[in-house]
Amino acid sequence: ERELSLPEVFDQARDIRRLVGDLATQDFALTRMLLALLYDALSEPGGDMAPGDTDAWEELWLSQSAYAAPVAAYLHQHRERFDLLHPEYPFFQTPGLRTAKDEVFSLNRLVADVPNGDPFFSMRRPGVERLGFAEAARWLVHAHAYDTSGIKSGAVGDPRVKAGKGYPQGPAWAGNLGGVLLEGDNLHETLLLNLIAADTPGVHAAEADRPAWRAEPSGPAPAPDLGLRPYGLRDLYTWQSRRIRLH
């Protein structure tokens, strides 16, 4: 097993057998994030989603490196949006998020295999005090996909908060969905087998469809356009189910 950067993942996709995250659910969530990135990197700004049809998809399937250069250029262009500590656009987080008492809680709430309270039946003892940037990013992606339901910290600016608490909204999107993931002989095949051509019946992408890192960060309150979304696969695959801020 090796820890790779995003450019390395796409550049070496044919040589990578599969993603191996900290949990199997993390593999699913990370694959969806990679797919959203690939869709966005291949699509023209303001244009139709790529690949446009099965012929374009087949070119990607047969090519040795059809998407490595576009993805590398895309990641360079949007590199600030993948910064966990960016003051305005922290990756998969809500900037300025705080409780009324400015409380900071344990990372146990983010790391899914460490229970809150007494950490019995966990491989981490006595809990999680620090995370490296790469692992923190993986758990952020996982939390938006699989965080459990329950009472959460009440955020300043969220009208749903009562007595300092955010009440259950249900599990995060993939926790409700489950999920089916086609797996090929390597990561390149896995990504392409799950990359849907834009002309597939039932697939729709509005002009506003974009991944979370290219949209305005979520605020503590529900998004005003929530009833109109998701705008497409890029929006759906990076859906911000929770409001999180790392310290």
Residue 119 has pLDDT above 70, yes or no: no
Residue 220 in any domain: the answer is yes
Residue 245 in any domain: the answer is no
Q: Note down the domain range covering 86.
A: 6-238
Q: What is the pLDDT of residue 126?
A: 53
Residue 244 in any domain: the answer is no
In DSSP notation, 191-202 reads HHHT---TTSTT
Residue 145 has pLDDT above 60, yes or no: yes
Are 126 and 5 spatial neighbours (Cβ–Cβ below 8 Å)?
A: no
The residue-averaged pLDDT of 87-113 equals 92
Residue 114 has pLDDT above 80, yes or no: no
The residue-averaged pLDDT of 182-194 equals 97
- Percent helix, percent strand, percent coil in the chain, to nearest 5: 35, 0, 60
CA 138 to chain CA centroid, nearest Å:
8
Residue 74 in any domain: the answer is yes
Residue 134 in any domain: the answer is yes
What percentage of the chain exceeds 70 in pLDDT?
95
Q: What is the pLDDT of residue 41?
A: 97
The residue-averaged pLDDT of 156-176 equals 88
**Confidence bin at 93 (pLDDT 50/70/90):** very high
Through-space distance between the first and last CA atoms of the chain, rounded to whole angstroms: 28
pTM of the model: 0.92
Residue 17 in any domain: the answer is yes
Residue 243 in any domain: the answer is no
The least confident of 84-93, 110-119, 167-176, 233-242 is 110-119
Of the candidates 211, 207, 242, 214, which has an alpha carbon nearest to the alpha carbon of residue 228? 207
Q: Which residues of 176-212 are buried (b: 16+ CB within 10 A; e: fewer)?
A: eeeeeeeeeeebbbbbbebbebbeeeeeebeeebbbb
The residue-averaged pLDDT of 193-218 equals 94
The residue-averaged pLDDT of 96-122 equals 79
**Confidence bin at 133 (pLDDT 50/70/90):** very high
Listed in sequence order, the residues at least 6 apart from 69 whose beta carbon sits closer than 8 Å to its beta carbon are none
Residue 121 has pLDDT above 70, yes or no: no
Residue 1 in any domain: the answer is no
Q: What is the pLDDT of residue 45?
A: 79
Number of domains in the chain: 1
176 vs 41: which has the higher pLDDT? 41
